[in-house]
Structure 1
């Protein structure tokens, strides 16, 4: 208390409260700016049950703040502090848990995606051995020795299933996934003396993994086609300058011309255009859009020129919702 009767704070080396708050805020802002978003390609994630496993494995690592998992694309987006946990350590943690993963490299991975591939050699060879083994059941030509080809089929495909089952059971947190169940089914069939049934379980499960890969690849192809619809820029009507689509506010006037994609959802304020909406609606014939009518972001201007007013930001456009 000063001589003038006013309470003075901060004397005697005691830190003032708002100084402490400023330090805390500056530290939190510094930590926020240190965060890096790393994309991981998680090829070992095959079902929804493994989504929680991927998330829990990554969230246990120091420096990890947020994890988002996209099952159809087999991607995991991780916000983390690279000074504490490097991107390679994120992938290593999943690999140690028996879930195949690697860091996504934008330059290499965009052009290297394939949407169809043949099954691996051991699955193909195992399938052939299993199929030929059925000749042992031909009644008029006894070929009973072919039944032993089932052992070859199991030996070719089974180790991969057994390895993934081992990783599932003996890594924390332990989980009983489909690999464990298929391994138990195969062992059980062999123990009761039905070798053909055991080989059938193993071979069909190996083939199903390949078919699942083909199915999810087609989904990735469809999603990539939709993502490619999203326009990058728009052209301002007043300055004729390009502006990133994400920076276009509601109410901004934009110019549209042939060959341009509509940057955001809006309404035509001047002119008329022919718009190709096939990727959004499936309609192959372009639509005529006149003044006062709506246009959707991502659609293609085929003919004509016009001026539009943005009615939604890029995040709320039709393509963004898809």
Structure 2
């Protein structure tokens, strides 16, 4: 996971539990304050932290800093993927609940002809289900942030929707017929915020799946010249392997013998296979179309063209534009100011 020289190491860590840009700013600050950390960048959209630190600072130190800030850092990537999948499914259920119960509340609140005897009591119950059911994640996150003496967008959503519902409930229970109720306000806020989070989580999930699908294109085994098959991870520079028609080339290399056409569309986008002969370079994970080839490995593991493409795509997703970094910093200050006001 870490890459770099003996003096400086770059480590990518998955971060679970972030719900807004202010959360990313908090994690960034916590990591930046950890011993040995030279620089820390946290991307809320991708749920990943990129940390530059000295070699004496281990992953455990970085994970502890994240956990002390109120978030989690799964050690296994698949654990993060599972959590991401569960989050998308949970947000979808919350959205469906908010729409099914919130739409009638919105209708009777905004359209007098649709009102019936006791409509306010119906709105009281239905809006409570939306605000404290579908919106429970906001209240839970706000409580967690409060324990860490921090405020995020979840704090604003929790305070705003709860205040609107409590005020309306007091008006209704006190029998103030001329008092205004705002059951639909909290309901609409929760529905819209959950919708946004669901769309965001789904887009992030799909982009992550695209990277994983790209990584899966590589061959899993290589057939050596003596006929034995070995895991592609065991290939070393200078080793020779055979590629039969229809097989994926195990790793980057140069053709030693044989002639064939290689489908390189996954790398170059060219629909027509490229003819190769002895002395020509071939790229790992591309498909040998017809003839047999003997190839000598020139790049293996993280140095292959496919691995570099995956790494560049992953870094592009994890990076933040200048405007996003500014927005996250503003969110970290804006929320506490609004709460105080």
Distance 1:56 1:219, change over 3 A: same
In structure 1, the partner of 2:247 is 260
Which residue of structure 1 aligns with residue 139 of structure 2?
A: 162
1:248 match: secondary structure: coil
Q: Which has the larger radius of gyration?
A: 1
Secondary structure at the aligned position of 2:258 is classed as: strand
Q: Which residue of 1 aligns with 2:89?
A: 117
Asked if structure 2 preserves the Cα contact closer than 8 Å seen for 1:264 and 1:298, the reply is yes
* Partner secondary structure for residue 297 of structure 1: coil
Counterpart-to-counterpart distance in 2, 1:281 and 1:49 = 40
Partner of 1:203: 191
Q: How far apart in 1 are the matches of 2:162 and 2:250?
A: 58
User: 1:142 maps to which residue?
Assistant: 115
Q: Does 1:304 align with 2:296?
A: no
If asked which structure has higher relative contact order (CA below 8 Å, sep 6+), I would say 2
Q: Tell me how many residue pairs correspond in the alignment.
A: 283
Structure richer in helix, relative to its length: 2
RMSD, aligned CA: 4.8
Provide the residue aligned with 2:258 in structure 1: 271
SS state at 1:267 partner: strand
Paired with 1:153 and 1:235, the residues of 2 have a C-alpha distance of 59
Paired residue for 1:153? 130
- Assess if the C-alpha contact under 8 Å between 1:286 and 1:302 holds in 2: no
SS at the partner of 2:247? coil
Secondary structure of 1:229's aligned partner: coil
TM-superposition CA deviations, 1:260-309 (whole Å, max 9, x none) = 322333333432234333444555x5614321443222223243211234
Look up the match of 1:12. Answer: none
* Displacement after TM superposition at 1:59 (Å): 7.2
Could you tell me which of 290, 295, 306 is aligned with 2:276? 290
- Aligned pairs (5 A) from 1:168-179: 168-171=145-148, 174=150, 176-179=151-154
Q: Partners in 2 of 1:112 and 1:162 — Cα distance?
A: 20
Aligned partners of 2:245 and 2:290 also within 8 Å: yes
2:308 maps to 321
Q: Distance in 2 between matches of 1:58 and 1:164?
A: 20
Following TM superposition, by how much is the alpha carbon of 1:164 offset from its aligned partner in structure 2, in angstroms?
0.9
Matched residue, 2:105: 133
Counterpart contact for 2:98–2:190, Cα < 8 Å: no
SS for the counterpart of 2:17 is coil
The 3-state SS of whatever aligns with 1:140 is helix
Output the CA distance in 1 between the equivalents of 2:219 and 2:45.
23
Q: TM-score normalized by structure 2?
A: 0.60
SS class of match (2:259): strand
Q: Structure 1 residues 243, 76: CA separation in 2 closer, same or farther (over 3 Å shift)?
A: same
Q: Offset at 1:253?
A: 4.3
1:43 equivalenced with 2:46 (yes/no)? no
Q: Is the 8 A contact 1:62 1:85 kept in 2?
A: no
Which structure 2 segments of 5+ residues have no match?
Answer: 1-5, 168-179, 310-341
